[in-house]
């Protein structure tokens, strides 16, 4: 027999699939484990017991599933949002933010289908069955959730049927005037002309003398001293504007509430070159209502500076200040598949082409019948009440709302089915299509040759990534470093896997996403400009994501780890540092249990920047305690490093007590009926009962610092190492382990045990000097040896576990065994 000492000093491949347990020829084999539970593979090569979880609070309703969503303003201001059945709660840095609770429309069953995109203090939330919402933080404890309104788009195709839409109003500030005071309000000008009203009579083909020289004003006072908000206007030049060039070229739009003190709302200069009966349109920002409005002009009268002329002025009442008015369809044909207007059309946008050839847009505020709805009109007043033949209904209706969102090149982008909609550059509300480079755009059939649904979109360097059920595509400008515009775009396919409707995460220089089956995770890497490839990162550990991935959350500090809850309630982990060839999966079972499961169920995971520089990993956990279902929010603590034993937090759903030395602590109501592990005063106590929210140390012991919570153990099982065969592989040959040697870092060896893969007895690491005479544990760094009771059928494999609520880091492992030659 030959005694062998094979060292395994790297575990960076984590727990690999049982299908690979005999593939000793693979390079990754010597850096892998057959089991890695509640240990995290480290970029340095070793494995470390994961941190415990701190109890933050119980969710609003323990009977219903909740989901966590991050809200990150900056690395110094980060929140975790609790999305529950029709509500949202806010948490920050381990505590709930006051009593903040926002009513939401989202039912429990829809929470994990919500998509979101955030910029600064706003988050846009989308779901195919709900109108998009925007969540806004205006202060630490002030949050609002409101409908997100797409301004002027997107729209379905232009109506091609004979159905017309007739408006009951035009959106004008003034009625169609028949005199200076009829039918309502008062019109006046600088010359006191009795026909000044003709500037508001809806006749745009006129040659009206409005001033005897180059300056003047036209004023309108609302009837009954009413105050109205104006935000746009259009002006039509005289029908003989080019004859003597008597049009005005500069003006101010002003508002007043007393006719004496005026506020300038808009100013224009150098408005020259008018054509006969030409109409020009102007908008300005305004939210103040006025009783009087006027245009004060100059530069009129042509070369002789006399006889200034015009045809029409139309002030537009801001949509929010309008009284909704009827829009009547001549038939139901062409409306909602010939079904006419439906209740779901409330809130829908509609575009109307006026008789002047100008598109306006309106929003439906209510439905009266299949042919009648009420609207408010945006942009500009209509020229008249003529039936409108060319119109477009907004794209978004119940069941057809946007599904996912992202930011890209200062545009807010959304997707639905086969289409991507992107806002105007820097104007996230504006989805009015145009030809300018910064105009909003719509891209259809992003799935390319296959009609695959878009399931997510994400911002990447140089491209908007489009994840579809058939693969990932890249939408970008047509040239290198060229911006995406309505006229410059390219849509590239890549050799990638189909995607699940789960939000991907950025992981350094790559993206990680869940494949269509939800049973594997792929890495998306850019190979050239707008060209990507993807590989299944979990293939060597395929049995872990095969449990079904729920969502992804990526932690960058202190170690790059992808966390992903699984459908069986385990928390998957994946240490991801490709530059160092570190790609190791591990599984985590939180302390406690649920129903027939021996571990607590992790339902959701969120990562946000923490206060101490490390990321906070928020977990939404379900357990059964004393026959009662409880759902809690917990934060996984940063891993133990270079500290004192009292600082270690290696319990789940736990709390810390720091104060006067006491024999009992309270405040553990969330763990009533459970048995907990305690690290108090440097001593380990296991299985202590919690009653009435209180736990007591046995024997009258007291301590000033406690870490108390549900216990969990970490376990690592090794593979059969293939070394030392003189005539080939020794895999499958008889071998027997005599002892194991381990290199440890800051480890409580009193909780470390080793077992032969086949024998049933766990061997403790016996180092009397590590436990002080007063029973306090201490941390050991160095090498230890543990004799093993093994058989010749043991395959040279061992099990390692750590059972105390204390730290454990294993840097290397060496089994000493005899093998058949």
Tell me the pLDDT tens digit for each residue of 384-430.
999 999 999 999 888 889 999 999 999 999 999 889 999 999 999 99
Residues 70 and 82: their CA atoms lie apart, in Å, by 9
Higher pLDDT, 86 or 537: 86
325-329 and 372-378 as β-strands: parallel, antiparallel, unpaired? antiparallel
Task: Report, as an integer, the average pLDDT of 562-578.
Answer: 96
Written as six digits, the tokens of 731 are 């895999």
Angstrom distances, CA of residue 571 to CA of 591, 658, 695, 711: 12, 30, 28, 16
> What pLDDT does residue 447 have?
44
Tell the burial category of 435 from Cβ atoms under 10 Å away from its Cβ (0-12, 13-18, 19+): exposed
Angle (CA) 40-42-45 rounded to 5° is: 125
Is pLDDT of 793 > 70?
no
Give the single-character DSSP code of 748: -
Tell me the pLDDT tens digit for each residue of 87-111.
999 999 999 999 999 999 999 999 9
325-329 and 312-317 as β-strands: parallel, antiparallel, unpaired? unpaired
Tell me the pLDDT tens digit for each residue of 736-751.
788 889 999 999 999 9
Is pLDDT of 583 > 50?
yes
Task: Report, as an integer, the average pLDDT of 673-695.
Answer: 95
Is pLDDT of 11 > 50?
yes
Residues 757 and 625: their CA atoms lie apart, in Å, by 33
Residues 702 and 84: their CA atoms lie apart, in Å, by 41
What pLDDT band is residue 446 in, cutting at 50, 70 and 90?
very low
What is the value of pTM for the model shown? Answer: 0.88
> What pLDDT does residue 773 have?
58
> What pLDDT does residue 732 have?
60
Task: Report, as an integer, the average pLDDT of 363-378.
Answer: 97
Beta-ladder partners of 467: 456, 472
Written as six digits, the tokens of 348 are 């829908």
Tell me the pLDDT tens digit for each residue of 269-292.
999 999 999 999 999 999 999 999
Is pLDDT of 339 > 70?
yes
Is pLDDT of 734 > 80?
no
Task: Report, as an integer, the average pLDDT of 166-177.
Answer: 97
> What pLDDT does residue 117 have?
97
What pLDDT band is residue 9 in, cutting at 50, 70 and 90?
confident
Buried b (16+ CB within 10 A) or exposed e, 56-74: beebbeeeebbbbbbbeee
At residue 108, the 3 state secondary structure works out as: helix
What pLDDT band is residue 477 in, cutting at 50, 70 and 90?
confident
**Helices and strands counted in the chain (H then E):** 1, 64
What pLDDT band is residue 772 in, cutting at 50, 70 and 90?
low
Residues 134 and 149: their CA atoms lie apart, in Å, by 9
Beta-ladder partners of 787: 739
At residue 189, the 3 state secondary structure works out as: strand
Residue pair 68/633 in contact by the 8 Å Cβ criterion: yes
Is pLDDT of 452 > 70?
yes
Beta-ladder partners of 525: 510, 533
Residues 60 and 238: their CA atoms lie apart, in Å, by 67
Mean pLDDT of the chain: 91
Tell the burial category of 426 from Cβ atoms under 10 Å away from its Cβ (0-12, 13-18, 19+): exposed
Higher pLDDT, 647 or 635: 635
């Amino acid at each position: 027999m030959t005694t062998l000492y094979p060292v395994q000093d790297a575990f960076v491949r984590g727990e690999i699939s049982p299908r690979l347990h005999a593939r000793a020829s693979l390079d990754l084999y010597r850096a892998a484990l057959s089991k890695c539970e509640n240990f995290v593979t480290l970029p340095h090569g070793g494995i470390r017991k994961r941190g415990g979880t701190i109890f933050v609070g119980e969710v609003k309703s323990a009977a219903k599933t909740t989901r966590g969503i991050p809200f990150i303003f900056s690395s110094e201001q980060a929140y975790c949002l609790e999305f529950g059945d029709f509500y949202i709660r806010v948490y920050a840095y381990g505590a709930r933010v006051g009593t903040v609770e926002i009513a939401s429309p989202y039912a429990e069953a829809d929470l994990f289908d919500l998509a979101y995109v955030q910029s600064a203090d706003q988050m846009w939330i989308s779901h195919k069955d709900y109108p998009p919402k925007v969540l806004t933080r205006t202060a630490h404890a002030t949050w609002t959730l409101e409908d997100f309104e797409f301004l002027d788009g997107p729209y379905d195709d232009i109506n091609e049927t004979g159905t017309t839409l007739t408006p009951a109003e035009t959106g004008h500030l003034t009625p169609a005037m028949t005199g200076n005071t009829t039918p309502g309000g008062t019109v006046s000008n600088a010359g006191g002309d009795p026909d000044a009203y003709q500037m508001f009579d809806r006749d745009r083909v006129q040659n009206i003398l409005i001033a005897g020289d180059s300056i003047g004003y036209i004023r309108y006072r609302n009837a009954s001293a009413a105050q109205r908000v104006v935000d746009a206007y259009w002006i039509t030049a005289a029908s003989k504007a080019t004859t003597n060039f008597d049009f005005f070229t500069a003006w101010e739009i002003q508002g007043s509430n007393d006719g004496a003190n005026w506020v300038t709302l808009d100013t224009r200069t150098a408005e020259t070159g008018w054509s006969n009966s030409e109409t020009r349109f102007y908008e300005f920002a305004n939210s103040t209502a006025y009783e009087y409005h006027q245009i004060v002009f100059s530069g009129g009268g042509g070369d002789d500076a006399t006889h200034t002329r015009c045809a029409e002025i139309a002030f537009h009442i801001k949509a929010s200040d309008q009284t909704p008015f009827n829009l009547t369809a001549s038939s139901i044909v062409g409306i909602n598949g010939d079904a006419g207007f439906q209740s779901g059309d409330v809130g829908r946008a509609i575009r109307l082409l006026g008789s002047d050839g100008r598109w306006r847009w309106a929003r439906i505020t209510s439905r009266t019948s299949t042919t009648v709805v009420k609207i408010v009109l945006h942009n500009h007043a209509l020229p008249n009440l003529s039936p409108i033949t060319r119109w477009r209904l907004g794209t978004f209706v119940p069941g057809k709302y946007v599904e996912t969102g992202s930011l890209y090149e200062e545009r807010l982008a959304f997707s639905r089915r086969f289409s991507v909609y992107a806002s105007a550059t820097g104007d996230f509300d504006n989805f009015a299509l145009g030809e300018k480079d910064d105009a909003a755009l719509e891209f259809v059939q992003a799935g390319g040759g296959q009609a695959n649904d878009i399931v997510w979109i994400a911002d990447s360097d140089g491209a908007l990534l489009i994840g579809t059920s058939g693969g990932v595509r890249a939408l970008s400008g047509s040239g290198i470093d060229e911006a995406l515009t309505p006229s410059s775009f390219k849509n590239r396919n890549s050799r990638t896997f189909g995607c699940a409707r789960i939000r991907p995460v950025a992981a350094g220089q790559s993206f990680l996403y869940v494949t269509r089956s939800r049973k594997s995770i792929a890495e998306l890497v850019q190979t050239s400009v707008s060209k990507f490839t993807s590989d299944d990162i979990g293939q060597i550990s395929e049995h872990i994501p095969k449990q079904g991935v729920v969502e992804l959350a990526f932690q960058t500090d202190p170690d790059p780890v992808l966390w992903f809850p699984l459908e069986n309630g385990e928390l998957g982990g994946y240490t991801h540092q490709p530059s160092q060839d570190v790609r190791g999966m591990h599984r985590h079972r939180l302390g406690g249990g649920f129903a027939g499961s021996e571990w607590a169920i992790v339902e959701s995971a969120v990562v946000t920047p923490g206060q101490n520089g490390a990321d906070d990993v928020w977990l939404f956990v379900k357990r059964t305690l004393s026959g009662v279902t409880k759902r809690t929010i917990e934060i996984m603590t940063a891993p133990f490093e270079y500290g004192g034993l009292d600082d270690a937090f290696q319990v789940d759903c736990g709390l810390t007590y720091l104060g006067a030395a006491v024999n009992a602590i309270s405040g553990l109501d969330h763990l009533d009926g459970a048995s907990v592990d305690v690290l108090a005063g440097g001593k380990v106590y296991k299985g202590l009962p919690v009653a009435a929210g209180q736990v007591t140390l046995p024997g009258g012991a007291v301590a000033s610092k406690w870490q108390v919570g549900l216990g969990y153990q970490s376990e690592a099982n090794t593979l059969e190492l293939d070394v030392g065969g003189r005539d080939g592989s020794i895999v499958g040959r008889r071998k027997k382990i005599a002892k194991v040697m381990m290199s440890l870092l800051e480890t409580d060896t009193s909780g470390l045990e080793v077992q032969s893969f086949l024998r049933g007895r766990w061997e403790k690491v016996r180092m009397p000097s590590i436990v002080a005479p007063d029973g306090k544990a201490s941390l050991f760094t160095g090498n230890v040896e543990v004799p093993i009771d093994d058989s010749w059928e043991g395959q040279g494999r061992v099990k390692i576990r750590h059972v105390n609520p204390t730290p454990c880091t294993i840097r290397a492992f060496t089994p000493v065994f005899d093998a058949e030659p």
